[in-house]
Structure 1
Amino acid sequence: MGMKIRWSDSASAELEELFDYYRANVSLIVARKLLKAIIQKTLILESNPFVGVKEPLLSDRPDEYRYLVYKNYKIIYRCNDNLVVIITVFDSRQNPIKLKGLKD
């Protein structure tokens, strides 16, 4: 039985912001492709939720956080029972210390 994937409200909002940014500053086509590719990248988690690397900056938390990488973006998630929760889509060009303040 596969895992279900759920996007947190904050991760969904970040994805929407990414889309809006690329639509306004690059093109609608690029924005759609980026969004589709990020979502597609997460689908592997349905069958293999532990494929992602453990996020060392969040290792002090009680839950185990992992991430997948797509281009400049870290897709940070955690697993609970039969559920994978996408916590954030983090632009890795930012200061990584910002991840320490992550709320889910």
Structure 2
Amino acid sequence: MRIHFTEEAWNSLDKTTDFYLFELDIPAFIVDKIIRELLKKVQLLVENPYLGQKEPFLSHLGKNHRRIFYMNIKIIYRIEEDELYITDFFDSRQNPSKMKS
């Protein structure tokens, strides 16, 4: 299974990183560790793509989005044949209506 990150996913990850660094004032070495752990979670999906639960807030799109968590961050993804698309990194403390598809 191949992994693809959407541009939206990379933008979300950048925004999350900036929020942790500049708004929450979390030290860079801890933010780096958080990002590494998020990417390790993504790698778990290669071997077990159905690990995550279905994402109810995106069910209206009909693309069977799923989610796994690391800390407060949802990794939103969908599966198409042998391809895994990471579509968003979403801080679950936000209003779900802000979730991107």
Q: Shared fold by TM > 0.5?
A: yes
Contact 1:20 1:31 in 2 (8 A): no
The correspondence for 2:5, drawn from 1, 4, 7, is: 7
Question: Is 1:91 the counterpart of 2:91 in the alignment?
Answer: yes
Deviations 1:4-50 (A, max 9, x none): 11111111122122223333422110111011011111111101111
Measured in 2, the distance between the counterparts of 1:16 and 1:62 equals 27
Query: What's the C-alpha RMSD, in Å, of the aligned pairs?
Result: 1.3
Question: Is 1:23 the counterpart of 2:21 in the alignment?
Answer: yes
Q: Which residue of 2 aligns with 1:58?
A: 58
Q: Show structure 1 runs of 5+ residues with no match.
A: none
Give the alignment's TM-score, normalised by structure 1.
0.86
Once the two structures are TM-superposed, the CA of residue 61 in structure 1 deviates from its matched residue by: 1.6
Q: Which residue of 2 aligns with 1:34?
A: 34
Name the amino acid aligned to 1:6: H
Q: Show structure 2 runs of 5+ residues with no match.
A: none
The aligned length equals 99
Deviations 1:44-75 (A, max 9, x none): 11011111100111112221100001110111
Deviations 1:63-93 (A, max 9, x none): 1100001110111000011111000001100
After the TM superposition, which segments of 4 or more aligned residues of structure 1 sit over 6 Å from their partners? none
Q: Which residue of 2 aligns with 1:43?
A: 43
Sequence identity (%): 34
